[in-house]
Chains A and B, each alone.
Chain A
Amino acid sequence: MSSIEVVDTGGRVDPGASATFDEFVAARSRALLRTAYLLTHDHALAEDLLQTSLAKAWFAWRRIDGEPEPYVRRILVNTYASWWRRKWNGEQPTDTLPDAGHPDRADATEPTDLWTAMERLPRRMRAVVVLRYFEDLTEVQTADLLGCSVGTVKSQTSKALAKLRIDPALASDQPSQAEGKGDPR
């Protein structure tokens, strides 16, 4: 006689949705972790950034229309940009001195120390570089993901390449047209 009718679609009726989220974490979090590491240049912060982003995505999981990865990647990049100011920039007293750290093994083989130079880029600029030249997103896709104009992406890219001592003339290189994976939107 009784029947379950759920009118609202905002909530999670099917507990199986949790399994879908877990499957996504299992399948795609390594790729996201790589992006997080390129943004943060720190393994621990990368893991922190990724977990924070995944937790944020969980609360919106049912509302994600289509592939969740672009949505999670957007959260990850924007969390990186905002958290740097709020959280990571603060000095935290500790009882013991932190480890001095060790240079990544790849450092020694890189031309003109690009990896170190990237660390000096402002966060948003670094995000543009990672999205354009690691994720191979177009300028339009990058702008959409960062929530800014295409013009801003162009100018940020140009400035970033200049700081990395790459000929800014190359900034017009469009991965989507020349060698990229994505289609321009």
Chain B
Amino acid sequence: MNSLTDLRRTLDRHADDVADPATIARTTAVHHRIAVVRRRRRAAGAGVLSLALLAGVAGLAIPRLGDHEVLPAGPVVLGEQAPGSIRSLGYAFDATGQSQVIRGSGKIRLGESDTPRLLSWTLSDATTARFTLPGPEVHRTTVTHFGDFLYVPAGEPGPILVSAPGGSVGIATYAVSDRVTPPGYTRDGVTYRSTVAGTSLLTARIADGTSDVSSSYVAPDGPVQVRVLCTSLPRGYVVNVSLNGQGRVSSGGAPCDSDGTFDPGASGYVQLRQGRPGERVVVRAWVSRSMRDASAVPASELSDARIGVGVYGPVDQVRLGGYQVPRTIEAEGRTWTLGDLDQGRPGDVLGFAATAADRMATAAWRSTGRSTIDVRVDGDVTSSGESASGGQAAMPGIWVPGGSRMRVTMPRGSGAFGAALYNRVD
């Protein structure tokens, strides 16, 4: 027969036998598990609605190092140590361990991913490298020693053509890490960043198991952009947005697919009119069964759904072709500011000379009746926009590689059009 003293002694003795050599390693391991849970939740059906025309255009971010950050090791490529992590718009992209050496020319194939990835490189015996993403989107670079990165959007990117005339290029791959959370409003791993494309986060809210979320903010002196997040909505359901109960805008029935809970502050937005500066404004986002039906569905119909809303402002804009475009944008994992712009009428040719650096372009127009806009980069039409019955529209995200000229025309329609070129900031 034993005693309770024996039992306690046995428990204490075995507890003392537990060695715990590495709490830092445990912290890292726990965060890895958290990341896995997040990804699983996202994969269950997440998506950000594209509410307006300017999808993918958004802001400036402030990176923040975690207090207990353990940087991963980067691979050694072409005899050179690649960085373990790269920062982009406040997010950390950690080395995946995958690397590839391309001698002369070749292809890189990345698998499908619901978050963006970065490629960084070093050159050997070559002075330039060229990356061509499907589109095509050509990136020429003279940077080496992993001094720059190429942004690969989420999804299935397709083959990336790489060439390094007369030499080799060694490439390391980076994926989004959960080690670092950008400043902002975060819930269950999803962050509305505090600053996006030069605008400030005025308010945000993400909620689970509800069909209706509201929040409020003080109206700034300038327009605001409302960016909505949704996951796991039943097919056909839409998200509606209003400010102070007015100006309802529906999502247009975009499905909540598995892409896009990453960085909802950089998703598509809707720009709404609001009250006077200093007034309190209530923003509401709610789910209805269709665009015609504005009534919120019962929360019980949305067992796994998540909706969120973030408001950014004030937006510093400039008039372009009868349209308002922001002075600062985010694209390719970077921030860009307005450089050159030009405007014209149908029949005009807006020409932009080449520069050494890569640029991003936006074309915009305001027309009556059917109209088309063509954007040519080095003579090839790379983007073409059309309005069936007139109105205002914009085409953002046009890639203009360094060394390339751009021409914009309005071959059809009446009204005004314009184009703006943005220069890289970071």
Q: Point out residues on A near B: beta carbons under 8 Å.
A: 1-8, 10-13, 15, 18-19, 22-23, 25-26, 29-30, 33-35, 37-38, 43, 46-47, 50-52, 54-55, 58-59, 104-106, 109-112, 114-115, 118, 129-130, 133-134, 161, 164-167, 170, 173
- B23 and A25 form a contact (CB under 8 A): yes
CA distance A58 to B178 in the complex (A): 13
- B68 and A110 form a contact (CB under 8 A): no
In the bound complex, residues from chain A placing their C-beta under 8 Å from that of B222 are 1
In the bound complex, residues from chain A placing their C-beta under 8 Å from that of B181 are 12, 15, 18
Kindly state whether residue B3 has any CB partner on chain A within 8 Å: yes
Give the interface SS of chain A, mostly helix, strand, loop or mixed. Answer: helix
In the bound complex, residues from chain B placing their C-beta under 8 Å from that of A58 are 30, 34
In the bound complex, residues from chain B placing their C-beta under 8 Å from that of A35 are 15
Give the Cβ gap from A9 to chain B, nearest Cβ, in Å: 10
- B30 and A51 form a contact (CB under 8 A): yes
Residue of A6, A29, A112 near B185 (CB, 8 A) is A6
- B217 and A5 form a contact (CB under 8 A): yes
Q: Which 3 A-B pairs have the closest CB atoms?
A: A11-B187, A55-B33, A34-B15
Give the Cβ gap from B345 to chain A, nearest Cβ, in Å: 36
Q: Could you tell me which residues of chain B, from 312 to 329, have a CB within 8 Å of some CB in chain A?
A: 313-314
- A38 and B66 form a contact (CB under 8 A): no
- A111 and B6 form a contact (CB under 8 A): yes
Give the interface SS of chain B, mostly helix, strand, loop or mixed. Answer: mixed
Of all chain A residues, the one with the shortest Cβ separation from B190 is A11
Query: Which of B4, B206, B220 gathers the greatest number of chain A CB atoms within 10 Å?
Result: B4
In the bound complex, residues from chain B placing their C-beta under 8 Å from that of A7 are 203, 205, 214-216
Of all chain B residues, the one with the shortest Cβ separation from A17 is B186
| A-B contact sample (14 more), CB < 8 A, given A46-B18, A58-B30, A133-B7 | A5-B202, A11-B186, A11-B188, A11-B205, A12-B181, A18-B66, A19-B67, A22-B27, A30-B23, A37-B18, A112-B6, A114-B10, A115-B10, A134-B11
A-B contact pairs, 9 of them (CB 8 A): A7-B214, A10-B207, A15-B186, A25-B23, A25-B27, A29-B23, A30-B20, A54-B26, A166-B7
- B18 and A5 form a contact (CB under 8 A): no
Residue of B17, B202, B204 near A106 (CB, 8 A) is B17
Known A-B contacts A133-B4, A170-B4; A11 and B185 likewise in contact (beta carbons under 8 Å): yes
